[in-house]
Structure 1
Amino acid sequence: MSISITTHLPETAITNFVDSFWALHNTSDFGKNIIILPDGRIDLLFSKSTNEPYHIMLLGISTQPEQVVIAPNSVTFAISLKLPAIEYILKSSIADILDNAKNVTQIFSHIDETALDDFDTFCKNATKRIKELIPENLDKRKIKLFDLIYASKGNIAITELSKKVFWSSRQINRYFNQQLGIPLKTYCNIVRFRASFEQLKNGKLFPEGNYTDQSHFIKEIKKLSGVLPKDLYKNINDRFIQLTDLKS
């Protein structure tokens, strides 16, 4: 197969901020049409191909599927970030790139295209830099909030989160809207949707999260993917790349 993906999990020291590192290669002379599904991650992409010069893109939160083309003869290394990274690592809101992206090549000008020479070295260098950027004083209330969201896979009520972290629902939603551009409930729905990828890939076309019933499950899946659960399972031509088993 001309498309390959390699994934590395982060060191324990940075798991509050990094979901994963991944590398994607298209070694063919043809572009690959794919659909990227909302998954609640913020991706920092380092890419180059025969048709495009080296560049770095920051992708905001997605609330809808996006059709993209993996460029021919291309390589992309990525850092998939968790929510705390917005405030503590990027140190800037991403509300302005909801369902969008921006070129940040100049901001990360100290990282040149030689970073794409070796994926293991890329991960080690990125880990070292992220460790350096983590501030000594973290808001434990926010870290606990994010931990609860991820641990529950989005299956948790806002009122319950509010009580557990001693932070009002109004303040939490204000924080989410300022940092991401969406309210907490919308984000939790996306995380819950992402948690369904594994079951859908395995042909389990019924709800396993806290969906009220089958109809609700189908409605939410279609809202975030644009298709029915059975279409995600079939995954014709491997177009839903997050549901495809790709070996490096």
Structure 2
Amino acid sequence: MSLSTNGHAEGFHVVPDGCIDLLFCDNYATGLPTLSVVGTMTRPHWTPAEGHVTCVGVRFLPGGFGHFFRESAKALTDRIVPLEDLCQTNAYRIGEEVINCTTVLTRIRCLEDYLMTRLSVYESDSILTRALDVIARTSGNIRISDLSKKIVCGRRQLHRKFESSIGVSPKTFCSIIRFRETRQVLRQLPQPDLLRVALAAGYYDQAHFNHEFNRFNGSSPTSLLKGPSRKSQNL
């Protein structure tokens, strides 16, 4: 994952997607650490940027963060944490190496090499894996009671697993995935019927859709269709 404003935007509009990121940013004007871990988000975030900004990152798919770091994902939710706060060993050196790379590709390779040194023998949680698979196949449109029955797991146990490995509850995660998928549909259709899209995604009605969309996007579905501001990049 690599992003650049090329000097044309004043910031990044980042919305929840259910993932955790390891992010390198080469411009202190963003207010971000050079190397940071961005926890699972439950609300939109605006990152200011002045001049040319290049960000390179590694995106951990839901549940993948634990293969590389021991910290609970719950402790990172809605936070941007300097990498050195999570692992002081080699964090500063890795940051310097990435800064000294001259291309985006070499920076990506540097981050990949670092993560390979942290990759541990980690037995995936079969219950969590099954739950994530069901949520993906239903685009988040499933009741937690039905999800628990389908994967044969109690709701409390499932809640603990999600908060520890992903950072949010199963219900919140489903809401994020449904928002993410619906947002993608809206961006692909030339003239979408908002009510039809909302009902197809499992929202009760237009009001429910607008409320949930604004919760994660920071603006209404209609505003998305009008296109992003020339002063920002939507991610």
TM-score, normalised by the number of residues in structure 2: 0.79
Distance in 1, matches of 2:167 and 2:124, equals 22
SS of aligned partner of 1:92? coil
Aligned counterpart, 1:161: 147
From 79, 90, 95, the equivalent of 1:112 is 95
Structure 1 range deviating more: 116-125 or 209-218: 116-125
- How far residue 102 of structure 1 moved from its aligned partner, in angstroms, is 0.9
SS of aligned partner of 1:155? coil
Distance in 1, matches of 2:116 and 2:141, equals 30
Answer whether contact 1:37 1:240 (CA < 8 A) is retained. Answer: no
Aligned counterpart, 1:222: 214
From 68, 80, 94, the equivalent of 2:73 is 94
**Aligned amino acid, residue 177 of structure 1:** E
Are the structure 2 counterparts of residues 178 and 140 from structure 1 closer, same or farther at C-alpha, using a change threshold of 3 Å?
closer
Q: Which has the higher helix share?
A: 2
Distance in 2, matches of 1:109 and 1:188, equals 36
Are the structure 2 counterparts of residues 99 and 54 from structure 1 closer, same or farther at C-alpha, using a change threshold of 3 Å?
closer
Structure 1 range deviating more: 60-69 or 86-95: 86-95
Aligned counterpart, 1:8: none
Aligned counterpart, 2:136: 150
Aligned counterpart, 1:17: none
SS of aligned partner of 1:102? strand
**Aligned amino acid, residue 117 of structure 1:** T
Relative contact order (C-alpha < 8 Å, sep 6+): which is higher? 2
Match status 1:34 vs 2:26: no
SS of aligned partner of 2:213? helix
The root-mean-square deviation of aligned C-alpha atoms, in Å, is: 2.7
**Aligned amino acid, residue 228 of structure 1:** S
- How far residue 123 of structure 1 moved from its aligned partner, in angstroms, is 3.9
**Aligned amino acid, residue 214 of structure 1:** Q
From 235, 241, 245, the equivalent of 2:234 is 241
Answer whether contact 2:97 2:110 (CA < 8 A) is retained. Answer: no
- How far residue 240 of structure 1 moved from its aligned partner, in angstroms, is 5.4
Long gaps (5+) in structure 1 = 1-21, 243-248
**Aligned amino acid, residue 111 of structure 1:** I
Answer whether contact 1:50 1:73 (CA < 8 A) is retained. Answer: no
Aligned counterpart, 2:26: 48
From 190, 206, 210, the equivalent of 2:202 is 210
Q: Which has the higher strand share?
A: 1
Match status 1:68 vs 2:61: no
- How far residue 131 of structure 1 moved from its aligned partner, in angstroms, is 5.5
Kindly, what percent of the aligned residue pairs are identical? 24
Over residues 174-198 of structure 1, what are the superposed CA-to-partner deviations in whole Å (9 max), with x where a residue is unaligned?
2223444432101110111011122
Aligned counterpart, 1:23: 2
Structure 1 range deviating more: 47-56 or 73-82: 47-56
**Aligned amino acid, residue 182 of structure 1:** V
Matches within 5 A, 1:172-183: 172-183=158-169
